[in-house]
Amino acid sequence: MMYSLSGATILVTGGTGSFGRRFVETVLQTTDPKKIIVFSRDELKQHEMRSALPEDHYPTLRFFIGDVRDADRLGEALRGVDHIVHAAALKQVPTAEYNPFEAIKTNVLGAQNVIRAAIARGVRQVVALSTDKAANPINLYGATKLCADKLFVAANAMSGEGGPAFSVVRYGNVFGSRGSVVPFFLSRRASGVLPITDPGMTRFSITLRQSVDFVLRCLKDMRGGEVFVPKLPSYRLMDLAKAIAPDARIDVVGIRAGEKLHEVMVPRDEARRTLAFASRFVIQPDHPWWDSEDYLKSIGGNPCVPGFAYCSGTNDEWLSVEDLRALAAEVRVG
């Protein structure tokens, strides 16, 4: 189910990233926005994106150089904007560990700037992209994203009646995205050796297209305050290695600092306020302004049982080696 943004003005922070670019392309191909603004700090990526989506074919597309750390520039970019998709972040775990102040400036203070600018400019909706690493975080990146999630949920009280609605979308690494295990395995396939952190490791799987469609669906359904989590299949890292390089030797190198054995997207402590639907979970805000009884009555869903956790290692749905091989065949390296 796609959310029509016809006639609306949308701004995408981090709009030249993998998700941002696919989101912009999808909106341009499936609806008729009044304007869609790519907001990012990378001049080269904006040039490449502008070349791929030329103005004579996409006259509603705009490019703004800017950084979410810059509150004044955000305020300028948000004039007349109806919807924000906040995808800008410092996302690499090692980068955040070695540059903690920079990660906080972008992921936490940048989120604060987006919230304040959205309220000041009268934006209608804000959807912020989060990560599985924000659930029970063990690294700085996850901690900054958890902090940002809390800011966006609490922003609904700050915006007041008639102000912007803020919600969060949480999912794991996009299959085959830059810096993830799939392109790494593909690049090492010819060597005949694949380094694996732990043979028991599992991950959730979501494609770029699925992530974009899920955000569009959440834009349609959000009230403000929810954390939306898609139901996804899991895969075993060893199965991924078999799919990509079945004859390669496996070199077990150990789990890296800040890395989990299994991904968690709904931790046990949040299950008591989580509703399960056919294709997603909704974590309700733990604030006095949220009416959980009314939400359950009007939206439906099934409350999760006490002690439930949505974890890649205990999932009900798994990708086979053949499934993973088909997905990996679509991934480009470099």
Are the CB atoms for 235 and 198 separated by under 8 Å? Answer: no
Residues 6+ apart with CB under 8 A from 9: 33, 34, 35, 36, 37, 80, 81, 82, 83
Are the CB atoms for 125 and 83 separated by under 8 Å? Answer: yes
Are the CB atoms for 307 and 271 separated by under 8 Å? Answer: yes
Are the CB atoms for 159 and 165 separated by under 8 Å? Answer: yes
Residue of 35, 113, 107 lying closest to 74 (CA atoms): 113
Q: Return the amino acid letter for 133.
A: K
What CA–CA distance (Å, rounded) separates 108 from 120? 19
Beta strand residue intervals within 101-248, DSSP E:
125-129, 165-169, 193-196, 202-204, 227-230, 234-236
Burial 5-14 (b: 16+ CB within 10 A, else e): beebbbbbbb
> Which residue numbers are catalytic?
133
| Joined tokens for residue 252 | 């077990």
| Other beta carbons within 10 Å of 108 | 18
Write the DSSP string, 18-75: HHHHHHHHHHHHHS--SEEEEEES-HHHHHHHHHHS-TTT-TTEEEEE--TT-HHHHH
What CA–CA distance (Å, rounded) separates 263 from 163? 34
| Joined tokens for residue 3 | 């959310």
Residues recorded for the chain: 334
